């Protein structure tokens, strides 16, 4: 029977507490100042070297960026994209061990118009970012999201790919070395700010578009697609071949689960892979995909990497307000108790491959009108039995489609979307609020589909 007066602590050995001043696991000489995870403790110098090496190794082993190419860095002002900008600056500095061999530019998409921010608040954010961009010495472009309303329909068509083969990398490198390297790495400065060109009418139209969606999940999804369209259009207009995004592995892990939850499972490999070629001529690259959010936060704090906070749709909202925010919160909370959560989910995305058509396919009508991903094999472009022209009431089979231009209805647009984007569009109160370039492209695809159905008996099989 246990007694209150009995003592047992004399026979028990107290475990030694781990020392907080352990040495760096790399140099084994200097006291570690950073602990990324258990067993990975680095001093200041070794942590900086490892951080830089991981960035260059990600680009080097995949060889997605060729020497001499123009690369547009999508910087939102957040920790991840700001750290990406610093890595490019370090890689192009004269003291770099292995210099990067591409010509960078910076783009910032101002989304304040969709978030009901005042003009003064938007101007303050832009001013802070301009100071950071000017200090980098790279050409930069500050583009308001309102410009997405004036895009041409060609932005959601797949242009012929200009990506070089891996076998030509060495030839491209030799050609780059033979040229004047200094002139290659200092392109003509071109700083472009179209913020002052924003009109109040465009801002109202953008807000009307966002408010047409009932749920926050659909708003975030359409906003992500519109942002990507504007990035691709700017890259094409300014002559850039690659688009560099700042997605880290923590964000990609949450994005994988979000894609599956939204019915975008067949597109997970494109959404999380190192490169994304769904637009053909503009390749999206994610060089920060091997960094965790914790690792980036430590680096930015230790080496004073400037960043600017920009509110988004998830700012100061409830945990269950949207699928995206709920998934991100779930991943972050699970990561606290189980440190391998992010790496496990993230590594799973590397093993996923789609069984549908290749991303290099240039058939535009087999691609989603919004996200530009391949449609399911069972999802074709369907035509209606009757033309919607003003003076045409006979069926297409009897007369054919007349030449009167019509605005596509909800069914027309839905037939051109993947399953996930169909759910997003169904959440809209009116499909007419979509930007005109999307409606115009939908009309063009519908016309071509009806024309193909009319002459299908005279076409040869592929």
H/E stretch holding 283: strand 283-285
> 218, 253, 268: which is closest to 431 by C-alpha?
218
For residue 178, the Cα-to-chain-centroid distance in whole angstroms is 34
CATH superfamily of 44-168+177-351: HUPs (3.40.50.620)
- The three-class DSSP label of residue 414 is helix
Residue 430 sits at φ, ψ, to 5 deg, of -150, 125
Of the ranges 113-127, 130-144, 182-196, 200-214, which one carries the lowest mean pLDDT score? 182-196
Residues 147-200: tens digit of each pLDDT: 999 999 889 888 776 555 545 655 655 565 555 544 444 445 667 666 656 788
Residue 105 sits at φ, ψ, to 5 deg, of -140, 165
Q: Taking the alpha carbons of 381, 386, 388, 392 in that order, is the dihedral positive or negative?
A: positive
Q: Is the model's pLDDT at 371 over the cut of 70? A: yes
Q: How large is the average pLDDT for residues 10-35?
A: 70
Which tokens in the block code for residue 305? 């990497």
Q: Is the model's pLDDT at 385 over the cut of 50? A: no
What is the model's pLDDT at position 401?
Answer: 47
Q: Which residues pair with 144 in a beta bridge?
A: 110
Tokens 């680095």 appear where? 42
Count CB-CB contacts under 10 A for residue 145: 22
User: Of residues 70 and 15, which shows the higher confidence score?
Assistant: 70
Q: Which residues pair with 242 in a beta bridge?
A: 71, 283
**H runs (alpha helix) in 35-141:** 44-62, 79-92, 119-136
C-alpha 339/C-alpha 74 separation (Å) is 29
Residues 269-323: tens digit of each pLDDT: 888 889 998 898 899 999 999 999 999 999 999 999 999 998 888 888 898 999 9
Q: Is the model's pLDDT at 25 over the cut of 70? A: yes
Going by DSSP bridges, is the β-strand pair 242-244/40-42 parallel, antiparallel, or unpaired? unpaired
What is the model's pLDDT at position 174?
Answer: 56
What is the model's pLDDT at position 423?
Answer: 92
Q: How large is the average pLDDT for residues 44-49?
A: 92
pLDDT band at 247 (very low <50, low <70, confident <90, very high): very high
User: Of residues 175 and 351, which shows the higher confidence score?
Assistant: 351
Task: Give the strands of the sheet with 192-193, arranged side by side.
Answer: 192-193, 140-144, 103-110, 70-74, 242-244, 283-285, 275-276
Q: What are the boundaries of each domain within the chain?
A: 44-168+177-351, 366-455
- Close Cβ partners of 404 (under 8 Å, ≥ 6 residues apart): 389, 390, 391, 392
**H runs (alpha helix) in 21-76:** 44-62
Q: Is the model's pLDDT at 327 over the cut of 60? A: yes
C-alpha 377/C-alpha 253 separation (Å) is 27
Of the ranges 341-345, 359-363, 453-457, which one carries the lowest mean pLDDT score? 359-363
Of the ranges 193-197, 335-339, 357-361, which one carries the lowest mean pLDDT score? 357-361
The CA-CA-CA angle for residues 369, 375, 380, to 5°, reads 90
Percent of the chain with pLDDT over 70: 77
Q: How large is the average pLDDT for residues 428-433?
A: 88
Q: Is the model's pLDDT at 458 over the cut of 70? A: yes
Count CB-CB contacts under 10 A for residue 404: 11
Q: Is the model's pLDDT at 384 over the cut of 60? A: no
Going by DSSP bridges, is the β-strand pair 34-37/140-144 parallel, antiparallel, or unpaired? unpaired
Look over the chain and give the mean of its residue pLDDT values, rounded to a whole number: 81
Which tokens in the block code for residue 281? 């001529």
pLDDT band at 439 (very low <50, low <70, confident <90, very high): very high
User: Of residues 132 and 60, which shows the higher confidence score?
Assistant: 132
C-alpha 54/C-alpha 69 separation (Å) is 21
What is the model's pLDDT at position 80?
Answer: 96
User: Of residues 128 and 359, which shows the higher confidence score?
Assistant: 128
Q: How large is the average pLDDT for residues 440-450?
A: 88
Q: Taking the alpha carbons of 173, 179, 180, 183 in that order, is the dihedral positive or negative?
A: negative
Q: How far is CA 245 from CA 95, 220, 357, in A?
A: 25, 18, 25
Q: Is the model's pLDDT at 211 over the cut of 90? A: yes
C-alpha 46/C-alpha 51 separation (Å) is 8
C-alpha 103/C-alpha 244 separation (Å) is 12
What is the model's pLDDT at position 387?
Answer: 43
What is the model's pLDDT at position 170?
Answer: 56
User: Of residues 376 and 379, which shows the higher confidence score?
Assistant: 376
> 97, 104, 36, 115: which is closest to 72 by C-alpha?
104
> 327, 80, 334, 139: which is closest to 220 by C-alpha?
327
**H runs (alpha helix) in 137-248:** 169-178, 181-184, 200-211, 216-237
C-alpha 399/C-alpha 385 separation (Å) is 11
C-alpha 39/C-alpha 204 separation (Å) is 53
C-alpha 75/C-alpha 105 separation (Å) is 10
As a dihedral over the C-alpha atoms of residue 109, residue 369, residue 242, residue 113, rounded to 10 degrees, the angle is 0
Instruction: Please classify residue 261 by burial: count the beta carbons closer than 10 Å to its beta carbon, then call 0-12 exposed, 13-18 middle and 19+ buried.
Output: middle
What is the model's pLDDT at position 184?
Answer: 46
- Close Cβ partners of 311 (under 8 Å, ≥ 6 residues apart): 115, 117
Evaluate if pTM is beyond 0.85.
no
Count CB-CB contacts under 10 A for residue 174: 10
- The three-class DSSP label of residue 374 is strand
Question: In residues, how long is the chain?
Answer: 462
User: Of residues 56 and 5, which shows the higher confidence score?
Assistant: 56
């Amino acid at each position: 029977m246990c007694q209150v007066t009995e003592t047992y602590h004399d026979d028990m050995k107290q475990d030694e507490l781990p020392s907080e001043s352990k040495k760096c696991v790399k140099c084994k000489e200097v006291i570690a100042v950073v602990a990324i995870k258990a067993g990975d403790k680095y001093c200041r110098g070794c942590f900086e070297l490892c951080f830089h090496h991981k960035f260059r190794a990600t680009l080097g082993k995949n060889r997605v960026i060729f020497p001499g190419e123009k690369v547009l860095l999508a910087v939102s002002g957040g920790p991840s994209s700001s750290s990406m900008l610093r890595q490019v600056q370090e890689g192009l500095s004269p003291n770099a061990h292995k210099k990067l061999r591409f010509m960078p530019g910076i783009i910032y998409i101002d989304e304040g118009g969709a978030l009901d921010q005042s003009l003064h608040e938007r101007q303050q954010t832009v001013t802070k970012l301009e100071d950071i961009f000017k200090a980098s010495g790279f050409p930069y472009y500050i583009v308001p999201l309102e410009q997405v309303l004036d895009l041409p329909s060609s932005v959601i068509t797949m242009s012929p790919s200009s990506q070089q083969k891996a076998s030509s990398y060495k030839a491209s490198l030799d050609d780059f070395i033979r040229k004047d390297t200094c002139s290659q790495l200092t392109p003509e400065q071109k700083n472009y700010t179209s913020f002052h060109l924003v009109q109040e009418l465009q801002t109202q139209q953008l807000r009307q578009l966002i408010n047409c969606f009932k749920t926050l999940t659909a708003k975030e999804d359409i906003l992500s697609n519109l942002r990507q369209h504007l990035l691709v259009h700017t890259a094409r207009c300014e002559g850039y071949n690659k688009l560099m995004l700042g997605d880290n592995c923590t964000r990609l892990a949450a994005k994988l689960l979000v894609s599956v939850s939204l019915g975008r499972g067949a597109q997970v490999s494109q959404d999380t892979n190192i490169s994304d070629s769904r637009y053909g001529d503009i390749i999206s690259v994610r060089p920060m995909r091997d960094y965790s959010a914790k690792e980036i936060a430590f680096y930015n704090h230790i080496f004073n990497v400037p960043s600017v906070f920009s509110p988004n749709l998830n700012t100061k909202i409830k945990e269950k307000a949207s699928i995206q925010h709920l998934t991100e919160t779930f991943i972050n909370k699970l990561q606290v108790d189980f440190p391998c959560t992010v790496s496990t989910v993230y590594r799973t995305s590397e093993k996923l491959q789609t069984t549908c058509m290749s991303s290099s396919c240039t058939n535009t009508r087999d691609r989603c009108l919004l996200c530009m991903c391949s449609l399911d094999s069972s999802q074709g472009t369907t035509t209606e039995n009757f033309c919607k022209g003003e003076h045409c009431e006979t069926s297409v089979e009897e007369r054919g489609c007349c030449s009167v231009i019509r605005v596509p209805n909800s069914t027309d647009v839905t037939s051109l979307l993947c399953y996930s984007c169909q759910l997003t569009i169904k959440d809209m109160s009116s499909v007419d609020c979509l930007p005109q370039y999307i409606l115009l492209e939908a009309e063009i695809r519908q016309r071509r589909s009806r024309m193909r159905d009319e002459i299908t008996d005279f076409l040869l099989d592929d």
